[in-house]
Structure 1
Amino acid sequence: MVTLSALFSMIMLSIGLSMDSLALSVSCGLQKVENKLSMALKVAFIFAIIQATTPIIGYFTGTLFAEQIAFIDHWIAFGLLAFIGSKMITEGIKHNNKVECEDRKLTIWVLITMGIATSIDALAAGISLIATDLNIPLTIFIIFLGTFLFSLGGFSFGNKLGSLFQAKAEIFGGIVLISLGIKILIEHLFFQ
């Protein structure tokens, strides 16, 4: 049985990890493409598959060392999420560059490359899942679903919102990840 607290944590993790994909999807939505719906679905699906796969890799890689790090796993989870979140906030604040997709054709390989580039934080988040009692398959599904929906919406709104929204999405995602790290730390220090 999944508790409300666990479901909330899964959703917050999904939202936090989806923000890089959302930001990139917004910028991809600025592209001139013939079939926008088809491209929006392609962008959302590719980003969601990659974003959901990398935490699995991080989780299983991290479980190899779980016994050795059990006494500090909550600090590691907090550190990883705080680092990733801080990085996202910093990038969002200084984000005044040209849109990343603007000069590229949105081929499958370009989308896969961008998806991998935005999923490095999901790899670290997968390692941090070791410190939780979350249902891993459900967490991965929620990460997939959240990334898919945010990417689809981001692409759709790309023409209207542009790079201003891109920076705000990164800042919001960073805040969510840091908050999740603090929640994990507090739970392990004071409630276990």
Structure 2
Amino acid sequence: MNIYSLFVVAIALSLDAFGVALSIGLDSCVKRKNKLLFAISFGFFQFLCTFIGAYSGFLFNTYITYVPQIIGGMIIAFVGAFMIKEGFDNKEEKLLLNFKMYFVLGISVSIDAAVVGFTMFNKISSNYVILGDSVFIGIVTLILSIIAFIISRYLKRIQLVCKYADYIGGIILVIFGLKMMFF
């Protein structure tokens, strides 16, 4: 996968974390330290889920069977459609600032990364390339989460922004899935 495609995937996967970070950033009881811990959590779990998914896909292809591009594209398009559907859902959740929330939110915004890793990075034969791509996705997520916290200081209408983040991320994944299936 070239760097451009990897960057587009990283951005698409990071938009969930971006939307959640915007929401968290508007909560007045969240301190700078908490914001940094959330950003680190989002980046780490995005990396971890991508790596686990990619390595699982590699092992699946090596020892069980080859996963065709069409199936992978369909799964990615499905994840994108699911993200768009999440954008329509009304999310009114109150943030609880305890240690578990860093894990819960970190994993919840990163589950789609495992699916994308499984389907897109399963042909990579080098563990170093899988690790590098996963780290890249984690770093992009970390940076976008920090940017979201900075932007959240200036935003007044978070519901609108969160919905668009889900839609944009979902649309990008649907397009990428279609690209995998047909091109």
TM-score interval w.r.t. the shorter chain?
Answer: 0.7 to 0.9
Which residue number corresponds to residue 37 of structure 2?
42
Identify the residue that residue 57 of structure 1 maps to in structure 2: 52
- Write out per-residue CA displacement over residues 65-100 of structure 1, whole angstroms, 9 at most, x where no aligned residue: 204432x421222011101000011111x13332x3
**d(CA) in 1 for partners of 2:101, 2:73:** 32
C-alpha distance 40-104 of structure 1, shift in aligned 2 (>3 A): closer
- After superposing on structure 2, the runs of 4+ consecutive aligned residues of structure 1 that deviate more than 6 Å are none
TM-score if structure 1 supplies the norm length? 0.82
Q: State the number of aligned residues.
A: 177
* Separation in structure 1 between the aligned mates of residue 65 and residue 178 of structure 2, nearest angstrom: 18
TM (norm. structure 2) is 0.86
User: CA-atom RMSD, angstroms?
Assistant: 2.1
What residue number does 2:14 align with? 18
Within 2, Cα distance between the matches of 1:184 and 1:59? 16
Q: Unpaired runs of 5+ in structure 1?
A: 188-192
Distance 1:30 1:59, change over 3 A: same
Distance 1:104 1:176, change over 3 A: same
CA contact (8 A) 1:43 1:152 kept: no
- SS across alignment from 2:6: helix
Contact map agreement 2:76 2:176 (CA 8 A) in 1: yes
Alpha carbons 2:24, 2:95 under 8 Å: kept: no
**Identity within the alignment, %:** 27
Q: Which structure 2 residue ranges, 5 or more long, are not aligned?
A: none
- Quote the Cα distance in structure 1 between the aligned partners of 2:158 and 2:125: 38
Q: CA deviation at 1:131?
A: 4.3
